[in-house]
Amino acid sequence: MPVSRFSISLEEELLKDLDLYVKDNNFPNRSQALRHLIEKNIVEKKWQCNNIVAGAIVMIYDHHKKEILSRSNDIQHDYTEEILSSQHYHLSHDICLEIVAVKGRAQRLTELSDKLISIKGIKHGKLIMSKTD
Ligand code: NI
C-alpha cells in the first residue's frame, strides 16, 4: 500500500507520552506506534458498531479439571456460526493452551469470549479482535 507523509503538531507533553509509548512497546519508530493506535481505535469503533470482526480467544487452563473441557465444549457448540477453528496445545504436563479462531458480529464474539473466559478454573483468557477489511 502506498505510504503518505504528513506532519503532526503535538504538545511537548503529548510527544513525551508518545515516545514513552514507543519505547515501552518496542515500536521501531513513532509512525509504527501511531499506525497501531489508529488501527486499534478503528477496530474498537467497529466493535462498538457491532460490525463483522475476526479474532481469537486465547485460554490457558489445567486439563486435570475435566469440567472445564466439557463446559467449554458445551458453550462452543452454541456458536458454530462464529467459530472457525480451535487448536489445543499441551504446554506442559498440566497446562493447556486453547486458541479459538472466531469471526462474526463483535457483540456475539464478546458474548462467547465472556462465557468461555469466565469458566471456573480458566487461568487466563483473552479475546483479540481485528477488523476484517
Ligand atoms: Ni492439553
Cell numbers given for 90: 499441551
Mean pLDDT by 10 residues, the chain (133 residues): 88 93 91 88 78 94 89 96 96 95 94 92 90 81
Report pLDDT for 42. 81
Report pLDDT for 131. 82
- 77 CA from centroid of ligand 1 (Å): 19
Report pLDDT for 39. 84
Report pLDDT for 129. 87
- 100 CA from centroid of ligand 1 (Å): 14
Q: How far apart are CA 133 and CA 123, in angstroms?
A: 32
Report pLDDT for 49. 77
- 63 CA from centroid of ligand 1 (Å): 6
Give the domain ranges of the chain: 12-48, 52-131
Report pLDDT for 17. 93
In a 13 Å sphere around the CA of 15, the CA atoms on its Cβ side amount to 5
- 72 CA from centroid of ligand 1 (Å): 13
- 131 CA from centroid of ligand 1 (Å): 30
- 70 CA from centroid of ligand 1 (Å): 13
Report pLDDT for 94. 92
- 91 CA from centroid of ligand 1 (Å): 7
- 78 CA from centroid of ligand 1 (Å): 22
Q: CB–CB of 109/132 below 8 Å? A: no
Report pLDDT for 130. 87
Report pLDDT for 2. 85
**Class of domain 52-131 as given by CATH:** alpha beta
Strands lying side by side in the sheet with 52-62: 83-90, 95-105, 52-62, 122-131
- 45 CA from centroid of ligand 1 (Å): 35
